[in-house]
Chain A
Amino acid sequence: MARRGFVRPGLSDWLFLALTLVLSLALLAAGPEARAGAALFLGRTLFLPFRPALAIQPGAPEARREILALRERLARESLEWSTFEETLRENDRLRRLLDFREQETSPLVPAQVVGRSLDRFGESWLIAPGGGAPARPGQAVVSVDGLVGCVYAADGGFGNVRTLRNGALQVSAMLSGTRHAGMLHWQPLAGGLVLTGIPMHVPVRRGDEVMTSGYGGIFPKGIAVGEVVSTGDDSTSLVKRVVVRPRTDFAETEEVFLLGN
């Protein structure tokens, strides 16, 4: 039979709790770099033994390799197509630059998503690049559908990625039709991914494409981000607040690509 009634915490209960609290506070008190290093070391140590199991589908290694190659090709094609469309628009607007040198596409390094934080306050992933290529902080991460996010910490071949659904990540993006650029960031209270800084007079319609603007130097220009689902006024009423649906399905994506290694 169960004993009923509240049992006061004993000394050992409090001591054990205090021990975990002291350890946690020591981690939090360490500098950001030390914290990131400790987190990546622990992640690498825990995930490394499981990496082969995560990477290989039993009985179908050939098929998996082929799928990875095809996905990489699809991502490259998708990126090149975005770049091509962008170039066409540029040529149309800027005839004097018709002989402008064709924009080179960055090399793509495939990487596998080996861990996901489903943190309600900011999503981040742990990725393992293939072929021994190291991830570097500041690298853009894309999927076959479009932009995923950016590497913000890396160690020992693993990289930690802030996805678009992380409020700490800000991306300079623009409307592909009107060419107006703004800042894109995750605001759950405002409906999700929000593009701010678009002037009120700019016509924005549902379904308009949003892509990276290339400003800031991290994300190359022309990577598809998503499409407009709704618009509204900012609290200042000087600029629009555009809600964007990302192209990437963050729940289903298992392979991503690092740009510009």
Chain B
Amino acid sequence: MVCARYLVAIFAAFLLEGAVASRLAVGGAHPDLGLALVVYAGLFHGRPLGVGVGFLVGLLRGCLEPEWFGLEALLLPWVGFAAGSTSNVLNRSHPILQGILIAALLLLHDLARAGVLAGASPAGALALWVSEAPGTALYTALVVPPAVLWLPRLLAGRGGRALR
């Protein structure tokens, strides 16, 4: 049941990113709903679901970037894995901690991605990362946790609540 909810949430996040998030751009930065969903999946349901959601979100994103199809599916499972590893360490219901975790994992994800895209140029990767990632990380961390305060109940279900 939880998996079905996440499948719906993945597709909804993907459509929302295309339809709404682009209109919420501030200084070129948009909230990264897909990555936030991966973090929430890992945080509230552990590593396997975080990895699975990360892989599916990555595949969906790849549809729009045929040139790098598979890259996001390679990186986002790590985000879910890392979020799942913090599942029992953090007070996961705390929106500020959620925001910090989302921002940190988004920065790491973008650093890895910039490294791949910039090839053999570490300076280029760093420059790309500095120009694009911090704004998005801050925006996502500020917007998503308050907006999804209600989601843990919906997504966690009985098993998720029992883990808290």
Contact = CB atoms under 8 A, between A and B. Distances in A.
Contacts of A96: none
B63 A46 contact: yes
A189 B113 CA distance: 17
A25 B131 contact: no
B117 interface: yes
Interface string A3-29: 111110100110011001101111110
A46 B12 CA distance: 12
A30 B69 CA distance: 10
Given A20-B77, A250-B22, A12 B48 contact: yes
B52 interface: yes
Given A116-B18, A118-B30, A27 B133 contact: no
B132 A24 contact: no
Interface string A27-69: 1101010011111101100100000000000000000000000
A189 B127 contact: yes
B25 interface: yes
Interface in B40-65: 47-48, 51-52, 54-55, 58-65
B23 A122 contact: no
Contact of A118 (B17, B55, B71): B17
B63 A115 contact: yes
Interface residues on A, range: 35 or more
Contact of A32 (B67, B131, B136): B67
A9 B67 contact: no
The listed residue with most A CB atoms (<10 A of its CB), out of B66, B67, B87, is: B66
A113 B44 CA distance: 34
B47 A16 contact: yes
Interface string B17-28: 110011101001
B83 interface: no
Contacts of A39: 62-66, 69
A120 to B, nearest CB: 4
Given A3-B163, A189-B131, A42 B74 contact: no
- B63, B110, B114, B136: most-surrounded residue (chain A CB, <10 A): B63
B110 A115 contact: no
Interface of A: 1-7, 9, 12-13, 16-17, 20-21, 23-28, 30, 32, 35-40, 42-43, 46, 113, 115-122, 124-126, 152-153, 160, 168, 188-189, 192, 250-252
Given A13-B51, A38-B69, 17 more contacts: A2-B88, A2-B91, A2-B92, A5-B88, A9-B47, A9-B81, A16-B51, A17-B81, A20-B52, A27-B73, A35-B69, A39-B62, A43-B63, A115-B64, A118-B17, A120-B132, A124-B64
